[in-house]
Chain A
Amino acid sequence: MRTDERIGRASFLRSGAATAAAVWLGSTGLGTGNTPDSPPSVLEALVRTVLPFEHPRFPSIPSSAIVDRIDELFGLLSSPAFPASLAYFNTASRPTVFVNLDAGGRRAYLAAWAHDASEDRRRFYMSIRAVTFFGFYSLPQSWPAIDYGEPILHREKAGE
């Protein structure tokens, strides 16, 4: 059995990696928001802002797949705090609502959080980009475009 098969995604989750982003995002000091937009839809809008799906060299991976992967890896959407943080982010600048903005508006909205005086908002920005990059750049489909050499494990050397 190959090592990557042996570890497997489910095993990785059982081993506790799912706590990672919950640590980052679950304990931010953001308030809670009330929004009709579902947490997955807000997260997907964020993912579509952090990653340029429209870029000509971006691999053909749907944004929903990245959202699913982030949730699979980190269990964020079922955590107690994260959906509330997403809702707050979505509506913190009412009447402006993040998910209702066009792509340029979303970029400006997120950039404002990146440079906000509130440390909690900056933390949210840094965390959301981190978990998105975890979700995307851990996918082998993301590697050819950046010419990443990929793992080069030669198991024959280890006698397998």
Chain B
Amino acid sequence: MTAVACDVLIIGSGAAGATLAATLLEQAELHVVLVEKGGYYGAEFFNQRELDMMVLLADRGARSTVDGAMPFVGGQCVGGGTTVNYALSFDPIRSVWERWQRDYGVRGFSFDPAADDYGIDGLNLASCAREVKRRCNVHEPRDEEINQNNRLFRDGCSTLGIAARKFQLNMRGCIGCGFCGQGCAYDAKRGTMLTYLPDALTRGLQLIHHCSVDTLAFETSSGRPRVVGASGTVAATAPGSRSNTVAPGPIVFQARLVIVSDGSIESPALLQRSQHPDPHSRIGRGLIAHPSLPVAAVFDRQIHGERGITGSYYSDHFYAQHGFMLECLFDHPIDAAIAIPGFGATHYERMLNFDRTAGLGVMLVDTPNDDNRVVWDPAAGKPQIVYRLGGDDKARLRVGARKGVEIMFAAGAREVVLSSNEPILPGEADARFTNVSQAGACDRLEFVPNQTLLSSAHCQATVKMSESPSQGVIDSRGESHGVANLIVCDSSAFPTSCGANPMISIMSMARYQGKRIAGERARYGV
């Protein structure tokens, strides 16, 4: 049994955890321990093979809803989602945070760069976001870096009068290999593994990977529960991972402050299996998924969408009215084959067009629904994810699908398919369009589970932040309403959708909370 005593224990090394660790150590002399369930894989490991790199993902890429219908893709490695995402970087959206202030009583997180939240000099969300973006080298790609897939998307939007914008990307020195999602083999993607984690390690952080935290330890002698540590297991270091700082076996942590940053699936599951008080049944409820529908189109010329920067353009043209974004993206063969509908010769003929295929995703900002939830299942030994698309969300996603089809034809596609075998067109076994006049058939999509493939890579809002314990599990400081010295800081803390791809919003919130905690150390006895 390994025993570790520290001031601050952070569980999860992704966008939030690593940023928190670095910020705390930058601001205060503390003994901080960061634990990560997955391995510590670096550029030397990333071999650009889809199958091999599934080891970087939760459940090796097989994490999905309990009905198997909807994959929930997430990083499970040092750096978390920032190691396996496409580097798409959106600023925190002011109107969303203002709505959270209004609807959930969230305090602080000022967008005024001159604000001193909590009386702490210079503490505000605007400054934190600016610092995060600078540290991660967030910038727009140059025109010459835009690949053919993204050019077609931009041109299709332009033809239809749909505004398309360049993504901001956290990259430096990208060579355009096209394997962002498999881990950057060139250390060009500036995720937390290459930014805040090294910052923290330089300042004395202890990183323990391959470490599953089973439960948080609560002490109740003073009445209100108080977290005093955690227990778990360190697995043997997997092949290809960097070495660990502790030996495999059981491990116990003693900590004055525990911060859970394990993401929107694992964080609520950890609270649930730790018997965290939940008088209002809020833990795990109201899961936001940002369900995404792939749209693929065949052109008469080579595109090679797998090459170059994967995502350079998106459109928020319909965001205000319909709440979806169109994001230009592309997959490698395994994921592409799964996304393209059909089987047998029909499917193979589509795959033979791989080099002439363009792709985009319709990403919906979904409506909060308490029935969509994460539930720890002790028998299965894993969280169960329950998610169904609501009626209004289906209606908005139909609009998105239709716009996606229209953009592809406007760009010159000769055939478009959705990731669906719903027979929405006469004579077609799946959602296949051969001319733009058929796009209206998207109105017949029902998004039938296990017939239309939606996926999620942005789960959020399962340990909601609210000043009211009946609305949220944690308050604006991220502190648990029910357990002292326990903070939750990751995408689960968002009360609803943050409104876009969440990485920078999560990191900005973590930067903010790190500074706040350092400024209020006495509050936690550290």
Contact = CB atoms under 8 A, between A and B. Distances in A.
B120 interface: no
- In this complex, the interface size class of chain B, counting residues with CB under 8 Å from chain A, is 35 or more
A122 B420 CA distance: 12
B47 A7 contact: yes
For chain A, the bracket of interface size reads: 35 or more
Nearest to A107: B344
28 contacts: A8-B239, A12-B52, A55-B345, A55-B348, A107-B343, A107-B344, A110-B343, A114-B343, A114-B421, A115-B423, A123-B67, A123-B68, A125-B450, A127-B68, A129-B343, A133-B338, A134-B51, A137-B334, A138-B334, A146-B333, A147-B302, A148-B333, A149-B307, A151-B49, A152-B48, A153-B48, A157-B175, A157-B186
Contacts of B476: none
Interface of B: 43-52, 54-55, 59-64, 67-69, 175, 177-179, 185-186, 238-240, 302, 304, 306-307, 332-334, 336-338, 343-345, 347-348, 351-352, 354-355, 421, 423, 429, 448-451, 453
Contacts of B43: 158
B62 A51 contact: no
Contact of A20 (B48, B60, B347): B60
A45 B63 CA distance: 27
B335 to A, nearest CB: 9
A24 B63 CA distance: 9
B337 A23 contact: no
Contact of A16 (B44, B48, B60, B337): B60
Nearest to A124: B450
Contacts of A14: 238-239
Given A51-B348, A107-B344, A148-B355, A21 B62 contact: yes
Point out which of B62, B338, B453 has the most chain A C-beta atoms below 10 A from its C-beta: B62
A75 B347 CA distance: 25
A30 B277 CA distance: 37
A1 B175 CA distance: 24
B183 to A, nearest CB: 11
A157 B45 CA distance: 14
A6 B239 contact: yes
A147 B305 CA distance: 11
Interface in A12-63: 12, 14-17, 19-21, 23-24, 27-28, 49-52, 54-55, 57-58
Interface string A116-160: 000100110111011001101110001101111101110001101
A3 interface: yes
Contacts of B307: 149
Contacts of A130: 338
B334 A123 contact: no
Nearest to A73: B51
Contacts of B354: 146-148
B382 to A, nearest CB: 9
A58 B345 CA distance: 10
Contacts of B68: 24, 27-28, 123, 126-127
A28 B64 CA distance: 13
Nearest to B336: A137
B36 to A, nearest CB: 15
A146 B333 CA distance: 9
A50 B43 CA distance: 35
A151 B67 contact: no
A107 B43 CA distance: 43
A7 B239 contact: yes
Contact of B47 (A19, A107, A110, A151): A151
Nearest to B450: A122
A20 B64 CA distance: 10
B230 to A, nearest CB: 22
Nearest to B304: A149
